[in-house]
Structure formats: C-alpha cells, structure tokens
Structure 1
Amino acid sequence: MDAPALAIDAVSHAFGQRLALDTVSLTVPPGRFVALLGPNGAGKTTLFALATRLYTTRTGRVRIFGHDLARAPSLALAELGVVFQSRTLDLDLSVRQNLAYHGALHGLSGRALKARIAELMEMVGLADRLDEKVRTLSGGQARRVEIARALVHRPRLLLLDEATVGLDLAARAAIVDLVRRLVAQEGLAVLWATHIFDEVRPQDDIHVLDKGRIIAHGTAGAVAGAHLVPAAELAPDAGTAGLEAAFRAMTAAGAEDTA
C-alpha cells in the first residue's frame, strides 16, 4: 500500500499555557482533495506550521509520503508545496523573478527552470503576465502565482491555508477550481484549510477542527448526515448550507469524533 501523502499522528502544540492543538491526527491520501474545516482560531494555521516545520513538533509525528519530518526533513519537504494564508510574494519583483527565486532555492536553474515556470504560468492562466510586477496583479491573480510558485519543484503534496481569504466570489471560485483541477489532472494531494463551507463538496474527505481538536471526520455528506442534516441538502450545485448547519450543531454540542 502506498504511504499517505500526509500523516499527522497525535500532534499537540501549546503556546505557553494555552493548548492550541490537542492530539490531532489526520491523513491525506495520495491524489486526493481533503478539507480541514474550522473557524478562525481553531488551530489550522498552527497545524500547518508544524506540518511545514516552521514550528518544531514536540508531541506526535508528521510524515510526508512516508518520510518523517523530524528525522528526514529534506526528503519530506521536497515532496511539499505550501500556500500560506499571508501573502508572501515580493511585490516589487516580476512574476518570473518570484518564481525563479523560489526555484533556485530548490536547486533549479537554467532551461529546465525557465520551461517549468512557463508550464506553470500557462496552467494557472497567467502566461501573459510573466514579466509584470506582482503589485500590478489582482488578489486572485497573485494567489494563482503563489500556487504556481508552490509547484515549481514538482511536489506531490500541496497545503493551502485559507487560500481564498479576502478574494471576491469569482476569484475565490477560480482558485478552488484550479486546485481541484490539479488534483484531478496532475494527481496532486491537497490539504485545503478553510472556514468557508461552500468550498467543500459532499464527496470530499473532511476533518473538522474546533478549539484545537478534531471533532469529526469522514466525507462532508456523511459528517453532515451524522449530525441530523440530510445529505440531500449537500447537492453539488447547491452549496453546503447543510454542512455549515451540522458544524454549528457539532460545536454547540461539543461533539466527539464521528468516525
């Protein structure tokens, strides 16, 4: 059996006396879109910081395609691309320069890097903006560049932390569609952290994080159904109001893991 793209096992993290994550475990299979769903302050960003080694994991274990992040960080991180919630592009550099710099950090250069950048910018629909400064782009366009940058070194796992925050409805939909297309066409594994319920589809695997704990996991439709919301309300073309209602019910009742 193939190793999970991401396996987080019993990870906890505290800031002083405040426990931000409490024995969190989740798995992202290869080539799947998995949503980490929770309100602001639930611990999603802290979990991403641990999964990307920005914070050191003291309790629990993180593995990326079987590579232990603590014991073999170079091998693990080589498989990982990340789009953080905060914007991280250099506004005064061109799109090409931002991507080339990131590629150089991963040991890429010359024709191979140039070809990879061109390929990615075609993929995200911005091939004609390569030599423009990032500050001239819209928020949605800049986000697409960040996704392209995260993929320069050909990772097999992509983590996105609240990737659509601050975008208008059309830009948000375009980013979600782009990432889902990468999963379907490129076989990329994705962990998509969000508090926006209509970015989740009924068939998606989800992990619901609240107050630092995973309180439910399964498919979105199954989780909603388990909390008295008919799965029929989660029609693919009708948004996910049912999932949002289920989430409110879970957090109000202090629900435990449903799986």
Structure 2
Amino acid sequence: MSVAVPALEVEHLSFAYGPRKALDDVGFRIGQGECAILLGPNGAGKSTLFSLVTRLYDAPSGQISIAGHALRKDSCAALARLGVVFQQPTLDLDLSVAQNLRYHASLHGLSRKEAELRIREELERQGMEERRDEKVRQLNGGHRRRVEIARALLHRPALLLLDEPSVGLDVPSRKAMVDHIHELCRSRGLAVLWATHLIDEIGQDDSLIVLHKGRVRAQGTVREVLAGQGAETVSAAFHRLTAEGEG
C-alpha cells in the first residue's frame, strides 16, 4: 500500500537575521486535504516561514519539500505545486478581474482555452463570475480576496498558503472565506497552511501548529493540542504555550 506524499514537509528549518534567530529547528508536515493553522503572536516567525516556503528567502539549513519536490534542489517543480495568498493585496487594480487571472494563468503555461475554462470555474466557485469584466479597484476588500483565492487556485496547486488573508475584512466576508477554504480541503483534497492570530478562524477538524519565538511549541489536531495543554479552548491552550518563560 503506497503512502501519500505530504503536501508540505519542513525539516530542521532555521533562519536568522544577523544575530537574531527568527526560526529555530522548525519541523512539521501537512498531508493532502489537511487544513493546518499556523498560530502565533506577532514576531513568532510566521512571515519568515512563509518567505522560506515561497523561496523569497533561501533557507541556509534544513529542508522544505512541496508535494514531494525538494525546494532547494527542484524549485521549479516545487513552486509549481504551490498557491499563495499574501497578507498584502497583489492584484493589479487597473486590470479587470479576468485580466488579472489570465496573466497568472499565462505565467503557469496554461493555454488560452484551458485558462478560460479554469477562470470561469474558479470565479463561479467564488460567486464572482458576473464581475469578471470589472476593474479590481471597483471591488470591495472581500471581493478582492475572493479573486486572489481564485487566482491562487488556477494552476491547481497541491498546497495553498494563506498569510493572514482575512485582515481588513468584515465579519460576514471573513466567515465566507473560512467556510470556502475548508470546503476546498474536503472536496478537492487541497492542503492549506493558514497563518493567523485569530482563534475563531480555526475549525474543530483542523490541525494546529503553534509557533512562538521561532520554535514550534505544539502541533497536532485541535483535540491533541488541547489535551496536551489540559485546556478546554484553543485560546487557553495558546495562552499557556506562548506565555511560557515570559517574565
């Protein structure tokens, strides 16, 4: 019986900005169809980790593999299996929704015909098909996020990185995004690594990776992390994990 290749595997990853260590021997894996929440306070190392996985930074030690492809040795194949929604918006405001998506599709080598099919599919999934010809600057924050998620999924990645994607969204838009991402994990087997500091974005069936001061303080299912900390809520467990050693 074959063993499924993890969508993301991180082993012994460390990184420093001069004398300041941002990540210290970080390791975890995310399976296919798994929604993993990367939970940590500001300065925990979440952004550094994302920069290493997307290869904005090069990891001097440790290893990162995406869908079985080692990022350092086979970066093109690894990054081709990755979709990203950054915290800061990256859409071209003066292009239409469809033009933004076509540009992304061309970067991934999709034919015009295949690109149009996938653009329609993803926009319909996001409830945005009727707005495909509108300029992005005409959209509100929630709708722009939907377009960014659609764009990240066009090339059908194995792994989706979400870097605090709900920042600036109202409550209904945030809930709709949370529900949609969880449905993608269930229906398409998409693996997700979602960096956040908002407890209410975590589902009971999610995995948790708690990062604090550059180290993984706990990882496992929500139930496993709660049991390990003797806590009844994620908020209580998170407080105990991040308060450790504080003076």
State the TM-score, normalized to the length of structure 1: 0.91
Aligned: 1:249 with 2:240: yes
Aligned: 1:227 with 2:218: no
Q: What is the aligned partner in structure 1 of residue 79 from structure 2?
A: 77
> Structure 1 counterpart of 2:85, which letter?
V
Q: Write the distance in 2 (CA, Å) between the matches of 1:158 and 1:32.
A: 11
Q: Write the distance in 2 (CA, Å) between the matches of 1:176 and 1:254.
A: 33
Residues 203-232 of structure 1: CA distance to partner in whole angstroms, max 9, x if unpaired? 3111100111100111112212322323xx
Unaligned runs of 5+ in 1: 231-241
Q: What is the aligned partner in structure 2 of residue 147 from structure 1?
A: 149
Show structure 1 runs of 4+ deviating over 4 A: none
1:254 Cα shift? 3.9
Aligned: 1:204 with 2:195: no
Q: Is the 8 A contact 1:183 1:189 kept in 2?
A: yes
> Structure 2 counterpart of 1:33, which letter?
C
Q: Write the distance in 2 (CA, Å) between the matches of 1:175 and 1:254.
A: 35
Q: Write the distance in 1 (CA, Å) between the matches of 2:245 and 2:76.
A: 39
Q: Write the distance in 2 (CA, Å) between the matches of 1:30 and 1:133.
A: 35
Q: Write the distance in 1 (CA, Å) between the matches of 2:223 and 2:245.
A: 20
Unaligned runs of 5+ in 2: none
> Structure 2 counterpart of 1:252, which letter?
A
Q: Write the distance in 2 (CA, Å) between the matches of 1:192 and 1:252.
A: 22
Q: Write the distance in 2 (CA, Å) between the matches of 1:154 and 1:253.
A: 40
Q: Write the distance in 1 (CA, Å) between the matches of 2:129 and 2:205.
A: 33
- Report 1:1-259 matches (<5 A): 1-230=3-232, 242-254=233-245
State the TM-score, normalized to the length of structure 2: 0.96
Residues 26-60 of structure 1: CA distance to partner in whole angstroms, max 9, x if unpaired? 11001111111111221111101100111101110
Q: Write the distance in 2 (CA, Å) between the matches of 1:55 and 1:97.
A: 29
Using the aligned pairs only, state the percent identity.
Answer: 53
Aligned residues: 244
Residues 57-84 of structure 1: CA distance to partner in whole angstroms, max 9, x if unpaired? 1110000111100000111111111111
Q: CA RMSD in A?
A: 1.2
1:157 Cα shift? 1.0
Residues 111-136 of structure 1: CA distance to partner in whole angstroms, max 9, x if unpaired? 11111101110011101110001111
> Structure 2 counterpart of 1:83, which letter?
V
1:168 Cα shift? 1.1
> Structure 2 counterpart of 1:97, which letter?
Q
Q: Is the 8 A contact 1:10 1:61 kept in 2?
A: yes
> Structure 2 counterpart of 1:66, which letter?
G
What's the secondary structure of 1:223's corresponding residue?
Answer: helix
Instruction: Select the structure with the greater relative contact order (CA < 8 A; seq sep ≥ 6).
Output: 2
Q: Write the distance in 1 (CA, Å) between the matches of 2:91 and 2:185.
A: 24
Residues 96-151 of structure 1: CA distance to partner in whole angstroms, max 9, x if unpaired? 01000011111113211111101110011101110001111111110110010011
Q: Is the 8 A contact 1:94 1:131 kept in 2?
A: yes
Q: Write the distance in 1 (CA, Å) between the matches of 2:244 and 2:159.
A: 34
